Amino acid sequence: MIVVQAYEQEEVQKLTERQKDILDAALRLLVEDGDNLTMAAVARRARCSKESLYKWFGDRDGLLTATVRWQASKVRVVPVDQGRPDLVSLAESLESYARDWLKVISSDTSVALNRVAISHAGSGRDKLGEIVLQNGRFALAGRLKPVLDAGKRAGLLAFEDAETAFRTFFGLVARDVQIRLLLGDWPGMTEAAIEEDAARATKQFLALHGAGKGQQAN
């Protein structure tokens, strides 16, 4: 479901093990305490000196950015290999993407990271929002669109624009889950609920864009 991958070789590769430990500590703190992430707290938790934090990451924003990048390099929706595009395997692929995506957005880490990125997007001083978006929603689109296109070529799907089709799928999967989680509500995303939601979203998407029946509605 989740796979470890390098995000930007030239960026992440540079990190020493020690520094990765520190970013993990910052990540845990971010999840636990929200945006109350102080340099002192990170130093205490990671058992390093503040001086080292400043040497390695420049300033607080640098540490935050590095932390977000670090998490982005870890969490990645796995690409589903699209061998033979029959209807069953297509549906399985879609459902798998939906499941993974729901798992990601309902994870503590994702919620915490999105929260801090959104806070910072307000006073647009860094590009945390862009990073999160690139490694979240846009990465998902990048993985999913080839699947959609393959389905279209195989005559299984019907749509004009892959981007629009993707956004429909996105909406059917995520619905109000992410915004509710971000706002502190708990929409009960258990394993079972995720399974059910993924299946429902897939069925709905195929109902809208499946080529079998008379597909209507864009």
Nearby residues of 7 by Cβ (< 8 Å), 6 or more positions away: 69, 72, 73, 135
Among 13, 34, 59, 188, binds its own copies (CB under 8 A): 34
**Partner from its own copies, DNA, none contacting 59, C-beta within 5 to 8 A by type:** DNA
- What b/e readout covers 99-128, taking b as 16+ CB neighbours within 10 angstroms? bbbbbbbbbeebbbbbbbbeebbeeeebeb
Question: Would you state the torsion angle of the CA atoms of residues 40, 44, 50, 56, taken in this order, to the nearest 10 degrees?
Answer: -110
Residue whose token pair is 């935050």: 64
How far, in Å, CA of 105 to CA of 113, rounded?
A: 10
**Among the candidate windows 6-14, 30-38, 39-47, 89-97, which touches its own copies by CB under 8 A?**
30-38
180 binds DNA (CB under 7 A): no
55 binds DNA (CB under 7 A): yes
40 binds DNA (CB under 7 A): yes
Query: What is the largest distance, in Å, between two alpha-carbon atoms of the chain?
Result: 65
CB of 211 within 8 A of CB of 155? yes
107 binds DNA (CB under 7 A): no
83 binds its own copies (CB under 8 A): no
Among 23, 68, 102, 174, binds its own copies (CB under 8 A): 174
How far, in Å, CA of 45 to CA of 40, rounded?
A: 8
**Cα of 152 vs its chain's centroid, Å:** 25
- Per-position x/- string for 154-173, each x denoting binding to its own copies as judged by CB under 8 A, each - no binding: -------------xx-xxxx
**Among the candidate windows 30-38, 141-149, 162-170, 195-203, which touches DNA by CB under 7 A?**
30-38
Smallest separation, CB 17 to DNA (Å): 10
At residue 68's C-alpha, the angle toward residues 67 and 71, to 5°, is: 85
Smallest separation, CB 15 to its own copies (Å): 24
125 binds DNA (CB under 7 A): no
**Partner from DNA, its own copies, none contacting 55, C-beta within 5 to 8 A by type:** DNA
Nearby residues of 34 by Cβ (< 8 Å), 6 or more positions away: 112, 115, 116
Interface with its own copies (CB under 8 A): 33-36, 112, 114-119, 121-124, 129-130, 132-133, 137, 167-168, 170-176, 178-180, 182-185, 200, 203-204, 206-208, 216-218
Interface with DNA (CB under 7 A): 16, 18, 36-40, 43, 47-52, 54-55, 59-60
